[in-house]
Amino acid sequence: MAASGSAAPRAVAARPAGALSGTLAVPGDKSISHRALMLGGLAVGPTRITGLLLGVDVRATAAAMAALGAEIDAGDDAWTVYGRGVGGLTEPADVLDLGNSGTSARLLLGLIAGHAVTAFVTGDASLRRRPMQRVIDPLQQVGARFLTRSGGRLPLAVTGAREPMAIRYDLPVASAQVKSAVLLAGLNAMGETAVTEPQDTRDHTERMLRAFGAEVAVARDESGRRVTRLTGQPELTGQAVTVPGDPSSAAFPLVAALLVPGSAVRLPGVGMNPHRTGLFTTLREMGADLGIENAREQAGEPVADLVARAGPLQGVTVPAERAPAMIDEYPVLAVAAACAEGRTVMHGVGELRVKESDRLSGIAEGLRACGVTVESGEDWLAVTGQGAPPPGGATIATQLDHRIAMAFLVLGLVARGGVTVDDAGPIETSFPDFVAAMRGLGADIAELS
Ligand code: S3P
């Protein structure tokens, strides 16, 4: 089945039951999984990846890398990628269908821009709505040519540059995907590619590029903005990559454990990259009983075990500067805020409008349907909780958005009338065993037949 093939919608309902307890190993980090497959495909020698996320999004990247000439062996314990070397990707024989995955689309466009190949790229209805102009602009400067639908949307055709140019690029939006696309294009350019960010975003690409042998220097400019410089045409060498648990996936059982009375849940081996941990900081400010234990380093990324215990939460103000470090966590933070005492204001969240769905509207409409007071503006959201779960009882339209689906199922575990999501299918993109894993902790979540 193509990654964007549409299966029949699967309605799933969550209802309050007893306390949640136990240990849950969350699936591998989605961002790091994509990057391991891509850099493995550009390296010389095998890259062995353990803990790879086996979600639909990452499988779309694997299929695309195979179509671009990498050899990928899916083993039981580990996946192995045999790369083509920097500059060695070959022309795909068919359309690359990247399903729901914005990270696959934007990062692969960067890779392709640095190779003299032509590719046709598409995705599902959600991905075909999302903005690609933000990567097309810098990649045209590198020398790639694009033919797109209006507004720079997918499907598009890209012809990469025969002699890619090393560029200096000031990101107009704080986006790790755009930064990574420019750096990946710069791999096959002669000279130094430099990217300046308006706010720091996740740095998994930079960390992994270094681990594979590239020269990457990071500094601050006179305004304090981070500048990442990559020396082009490195020899990348295949590595052993251990993918940590995804903090963005851990967020769902973690918030569930904080909200369901009497719960105590341990989540071992979760990635603690400081550009990903904004939710944990915010929840602690709200008064959450959230322990961070056994902090350690694993293959160049910090990890720790998280222990969450239920207790009361208070509303807080979340500053705009924190948004990039928790950009995927606002749906579940809003659910926590709906149960907290008082008003939680989230600033600088305009980017939520261009995620897998318009999450600002999705969160606001879904919470209102569950009886929660919500206010929102162009780039802010305020949720007022009563210090107790809201009534619930609604059916939420997930709009092909895995995180909207999981966040509202978490709300259903405490909302008096439960919550139904109209389609849990999108959860396969990032947390394939979510329902079973939550049931393993004692949650009452069931498919409606
Ligand atoms: C990602 C970066 C973020 C995030 C996405 C994954 C990545 O997007 O929302 O889920 O892997 O680089 P932006 O960089 O567009 O904000």
Ligand 1 mean position to 324 CA, how many Å?
A: 9
CB atoms < 10 A from the CB of 5, how many? 10
Residue percentage of the chain with pLDDT more than 90 = 97
Q: How many angstroms separate the alpha carbon of residue 201 from the centre of ligand 1? A: 9
pLDDT tens across 341-397, in order?
999 999 999 999 999 999 999 999 999 999 999 999 999 999 999 999 999 999 999
pTM of the model: 0.98
Kindly tell me if the per-residue pLDDT of 2 is higher than 60: no
Look at ligand 1, atom 15, and give the residue with the nearest C-alpha: 175
For the beta sheet containing 153-159, the strands, ordered from the edge strand earlier in sequence to the opposite edge, are 96-97, 118-122, 153-159, 145-149
Out of 134, 175, 179, 276, mutate this one to test ligand 1's pocket (max ligand atoms within 8 Å of CB): namely 175
3-state secondary structure of 228: strand
Q: Which atom of ligand 1 is nearest to the CA of 35?
A: 11
Residue nearest to atom 16 of ligand 1 (CA): 175
Residue pLDDT, tens place only, 94-116: 999 999 999 999 999 999 999 99
Count of residues making up the chain: 449
CA 26 to each of CA 164, 185, 329, 387, 445: distance values in angstroms, whole numbers, following the listed order: 39, 32, 15, 28, 17
Is the pLDDT confidence value at 5 over 80?
A: no
Mean pLDDT (whole number) for 20-26: 98
Please check whether the domain covering 30-242 is classified as CATH 3.65.10.10: yes
Catalytic-labelled residue, pool 203, 246, 305, 328: 328
Q: From 177, 195, 203, 402, give the residue whose CB has the most ligand 1 atoms within 8 Å, as the site to mutate.
A: 177
Pocket test for ligand 1, best of 109, 202, 204, 226 (most atoms within 8 A of CB): 202
Q: Tell how far the Cα of 106 is from the centroid of ligand 1, in angstroms.
A: 10
Residue 7 pLDDT: 81
Residue nearest to atom 10 of ligand 1 (CA): 328
d(CA 257, CA 443): 10
pLDDT at 6: 62
What does the block give as tokens for 225? 């903005």
Which phi and psi angles does 424 have, rounded to 5°? -90, 0
Confidence of residue 300 (pLDDT cuts 50, 70, 90): confident
Distance 232 CA to ligand 1 centre (A): 24
Averaged pLDDT score across all residues of the chain: 97
Q: Which two tokens stand for residue 316?
A: 């807080």
Name which of 294, 349, 288 is nearest 318 in CA terms: 349
Average pLDDT for 423-427: 98
d(CA 134, CA 131): 7
Range 12-28+244-447 has CATH code 3.65.10.10: yes
Q: Ligand 1 centre and the CA of 248: distance in Å? A: 11
Q: Ligand 1: which residues within 6 Å by Cβ?
A: 31, 103, 175-177, 180, 201-202, 327-328, 351
- Cβ(233)–Cβ(187) below 8 Å: yes
Which pLDDT does position 449 carry in this prediction? Answer: 76
Q: Which residue's alpha carbon is nearest to atom 13 within ligand 1?
A: 175
Nearest residue (CA) to ligand 1, atom 4: 328
Calculate the alpha carbon distances from 105 to 26, 38, 136, 306, 360 in Å: 24, 12, 11, 31, 22
Q: Is it true that 12-28+244-447 and 30-242 share their CATH fold?
A: yes
Q: Which atom of ligand 1 is nearest to the CA of 355?
A: 9
328 in catalytic set: yes
What residue spans define the domains of the chain?
12-28+244-447, 30-242
Question: Which ligand 1 atom is the nearest neighbour of the CA of 351?
Answer: 16
Query: What average pLDDT does the segment 116-122 reach?
Result: 98
Pick the atom of ligand 1 nearest to 176's CA: 14
Which of 38, 61, 103, 127 is the best mutation target for the ligand 1 pocket, counting ligand atoms within 8 Å of the beta carbon and taking the most? Answer: 103
Torsion of CA 254, 260, 262, 266, to 10 degrees: -20
Q: What is the mean pLDDT of residues 421-434?
A: 98
- Cα 341 to middle of ligand 1, angstroms: 30
3-state secondary structure of 60: helix
pLDDT class of 299 with cuts at 50, 70, 90: confident
pLDDT, tens only, 160-204: 999 999 999 999 999 999 999 999 999 999 999 999 999 999 999
Any bridge partners for residue 133, and if so which? Answer: none
| 4 pLDDT above the threshold of 60 | no
Between β-strands 78-82 and 46-50, what pairing exists: parallel, antiparallel or unpaired? antiparallel
Q: Which of 432, 377, 376, 435 is nearest to 410 (CA)?
A: 435
- As beta bridge partners, residue 96 has 121
Q: How far is the CA of 175 from the centre of ligand 1 (A)?
A: 6
* Cα(97) to centroid(ligand 1), Å: 19
d(CA 447, CA 435) in angstroms, rounded, equals 9
Atom of ligand 1 nearest to the CA of 179: 14
